[in-house]
Amino acid sequence: MLNLPAMKPLSQRTETFTDSVIRRMTRIANACGAINLSQGFPDFDPPESLTRRLAEIAPVGPHQYAITFGAQNFREALSDKQFHFSGLRYDPQKEIVITCGSTEAMMASMMSVCNPGDKVVLFSPFYENYSADTILCGATPVYVPLSPVDLSFDADVLESAMKQPGVKALVLCNPANPSGKVFTREELSVIASLAVKYDLYVITDEVYEHIIYAPHRHTYISTLPGMFERTIECSSLSKTYSITGWRLGYVLAAEPVMDRVKKVHDFLTVGAAAPLMEAAVTALRFDDSYYADLQAHYTHMKQLFTSGLRNLGLRFTEPQGAYFVLIDISEFGYDGDEQFCIDMAQKVGVAAVPGSSFFREPINHLVRLHFAKKDETLNDALNRLENLKKLKR
Ligand code: GLN
């Protein structure tokens, strides 16, 4: 594990946010022709049966609005898939809404449980949308650090955060972006028992649920005792089926809270894209072999990329799930990770995300790279990274 800086146990700040640093880095990568390992998305194709189905749909539709909560056949297929993987049966009529990516799912969920002045607990490091979503709701993030050594959390620190007056929810990204942490069943049980004790919601982001490296396994916190009613589970098809541009996400939740999520969703976006939902039913009906192949493919990409980084003598986090590594750039002598990322994109030809955008604490010696790319792209990137030494000051 990396020697991450020690962080203050709990802190709050007068909150503000910029545009997304991740998506800004994509624009910088495009502008200078760098290989984009910043914003996480694949450069390989989605499954062929899925794109074939999309082509079949083009001349016949649907091309008009689906009903606002998502097409019926899509919600039924999703209910079946979720039952298969978690054993929980969500009612397609009452407990599922299809959104424009998990980004909308998270925002709609947060808006449905938070009032201005409330608080939301986030683990740090965290995916930048969570703090922005919290602030857009008029709420304040309360940060709980993951240990710099092993990414564990201190249960007492978590409890002191969760019991603060005004806390309505905790956000759980599992597997976690950017750390690659996969929360164990024991850790999830601690979070769940505190959520029950203090009567809080857990809003999950589980978009990497099918990208896990053995021996780690994904546990849905919604399946733990007392958690079905208080978990607002957000996920998407983006990562699982390599279709980030289709913007198909969803929320799964018990009816009372889902009634509120549905209202927010209805006015935020009206609904997800009808022809894409129709095509994606095919993917939701894939059998187990698809998910086994996906895991094998990601395990291969992780192996290729991390062994290349190791050969370059770089120090980085080893992910348990998702597809990110945090690289330690201390040796390069930069004052800030943002300038490092700009120089790396322009002079080395590889784009990364400054680590500071994921941490509550003022850290600036980490950058995030992702490896959801073809072998040739990863090999090209690794070749280019040999020139990193030129950035040394
Ligand atoms: N979750 C991906 C990442 O962190 C994509 C982010 C986005 O721009 N939606 O890079």
Asked whether residue 8 is assigned to any structural domain, the reply reads: no
- Residue 23 near ligand 1, beta carbon < 6 Å: yes
* 252 and 382 share one domain: no
> CA torsion angle for 154, 156, 158, 160 (degrees, to 10)?
-150
Name the residue of 25, 26, 27, 39 to mutate for ligand 1: max ligand atoms within 8 A of Cβ: 39
The confidence score (pLDDT) of residue 294 equals: 98
Residue 5 belongs to a domain: no
Considering the domain architecture, whether residues 63 and 195 belong to the same structural domain is answered as yes
The minimum-distance atom of ligand 1 relative to the CA of 127 is 4
> Which atom of ligand 1 is closest in space to residue 353's alpha carbon?
10
Residue 184 Cα to ligand 1 midpoint, Å, equals 23
Question: 167 and 193: one domain?
Answer: yes
Same domain for 218 and 293, yes or no, is no
The number of the ligand 1 atom at minimal distance from the alpha carbon of 38 is: 10
pLDDT < 50 regions, the chain: 1, 3-13
Residue 235 and residue 94 share a domain = yes
Residue 332's domain spans which residues? 13-45+289-387
CA of 381 to the centre of ligand 1 (A): 19
Please give the distance, rounded to the nearest whole angstrom, from the Cα atom of residue 197 to the centre of ligand 1: 33
Same domain for 229 and 186, yes or no, is: yes
Residue 147 lies in a domain: yes
Domain stop point among 286, 310, 344: 286
In a domain, 3, yes or no: no
Question: Amino acid identity of 56?
Answer: E
DSSP output for 344-391: IIIIISEE-EEGGGG-SS---SEEEEE--S-HHHHHHHHHHHGGGGGG
| Position 76 in a domain | yes
In a domain, 179, yes or no: yes
Interstrand relation of 35-36 and 119-124 (parallel, antiparallel or unpaired)? unpaired
Residues 33 and 80 in one domain: no
In a domain, 7, yes or no: no
Pair (33, 74) in one structural domain: no
- 263 Cβ closer than 6 Å to some ligand 1 atom: no
Task: Say if ligand 1 is within 6 A of residue 357 CB.
Answer: no
CATH of the domain at 357: 3.90.1150.10
Q: What pTM did the predictor assign? A: 0.94
Contact 118, 137 (CB under 8 A): yes
Ligand 1 geometric centre to CA of 59 (Å): 32
Cα separations (Å) of 212 from 79, 101, 219, 294, 358?
22, 21, 11, 10, 21
Whole-number pLDDT of residue 15: 65
Q: How many domains does the chain have?
A: 2
| Separation of CA 41 and ligand 1 centre (Å) | 7
Ligand 1 near 323 CB (within 6 A): no
Number of neighbouring beta carbons within 10 Å of residue 366: 28
Are 128 and 253 within one domain? Answer: yes
Q: Give the CATH number, domain containing residue 206.
A: 3.40.640.10
Q: Do 371 and 333 share a structural domain?
A: yes
pLDDT at 9: 38
277 and 132 in a single domain? The answer is yes
Going by C-alpha positions, the residue among 76, 57, 123, 67 that lies closest to residue 278 is 57
| 199 Rama sector, left if φ>0, alpha if ψ -120 to 50, beta otherwise | left
